[in-house]
Amino acid sequence: MEFGTMLETMGSGMLKTIGIFFLTLIGSLPLGVGIMLLRTSKNKVVKSITKAFIAVIRGTPLMLQLLVWYFGPYYLFDWSIRGWRFPGLIIGFVVNYACYFAEIYRGGIESMSVGQYEAAEVLGYTKSQTFFRIILPQVFKRILPSITNEVITLVKDTSLAYTLAYAEVFSIAKQISASQTSFMPFLIAGVFYFIANYAVAFGMERIEKALKYYN
């Protein structure tokens, strides 16, 4: 197989990988906020259950979680999983990363001094105004490096979609490499992941500079 043909064949896998990446971010970033609120709830039962759930998600491999989300409905409820491959894949990624983002959010918010809340109250700010106008902008700048690390990890973790036989770029690279006895597909996949991670790192660095993070 010629290089051009190989690259064209892997192109569809690259688009699917990009799709997994963006859908995971779109779902996990806001879901992480919800999980964080439950994790910091004043209700001890809700807080304990959420804490245990996060511990399970963070303490087990993402590959195993993807298998559970895909095969779980069939084994537990005898439901048909026809057409469930992609939804199960995205749910697995979203839930996993949402738990990591939730802990990052929580760490950022808890790092803020109580004095800032008290000062805002003295100045007549409501709780919502204090959070959105004073606390949140500072938290965002503090957690941005950690968010960047997770997003870069997500780019690489998309390769785990092969666990459910989903034809993203890594799965296609394996198939072509096996059929053509060539190492070139893996090199192409490696370059793709490197460029994607470089783009993410570059974009996040620009955001940090725009926020004058180090000043």
Percent of the chain with pLDDT over 90: 54
Domain membership of residue 154 (yes or no) is yes
Higher-scoring residue by pLDDT: 163, 95: 95
How high does pLDDT run on average in the chain? 89
Could you list the residue range(s) of the whole structural domain that residue 38 is in? 3-111+144-210
Q: Given the structure tokens 């006895």, which residue do they identify?
A: 181
Higher-scoring residue by pLDDT: 82, 132: 82
Domain membership of residue 97 (yes or no) is yes
CB 131 within 8 A of CB 65: no
Q: What is the pLDDT of residue 60?
A: 96
Domain membership of residue 61 (yes or no) is yes
Query: What's the total number of domains in the chain?
Result: 1
Q: What is the pLDDT of residue 1?
A: 67
Domain membership of residue 117 (yes or no) is no
Higher-scoring residue by pLDDT: 214, 9: 9
Q: What is the pLDDT of residue 30?
A: 93
Q: What is the pLDDT of residue 98?
A: 97
pLDDT tens for each residue of 119-178: 888 888 888 888 778 887 888 888 998 999 999 999 999 999 988 989 899 899 988 888
Q: What is the pLDDT of residue 169?
A: 92
b/e string for 117-139 if b means 16 or more Cβ within 10 A?
beebeeeebeeeebbeebbeeeb
CATH number at residue 15: 1.10.3720.10
Domain membership of residue 34 (yes or no) is yes
C-alpha span between 188 and 212 (Å, rounded): 36
Domain membership of residue 183 (yes or no) is yes
pLDDT tens for each residue of 50-80: 999 999 999 999 999 999 999 999 888 888 8
Helix crossing, 44-59 with 3-39: angle to 10°? Answer: 160
The pTM (predicted TM-score) of the whole model is: 0.89
Domain membership of residue 124 (yes or no) is no
Domain membership of residue 137 (yes or no) is no
Q: What is the pLDDT of residue 158?
A: 94
Q: What is the average per-residue pLDDT within 167-193? A: 89
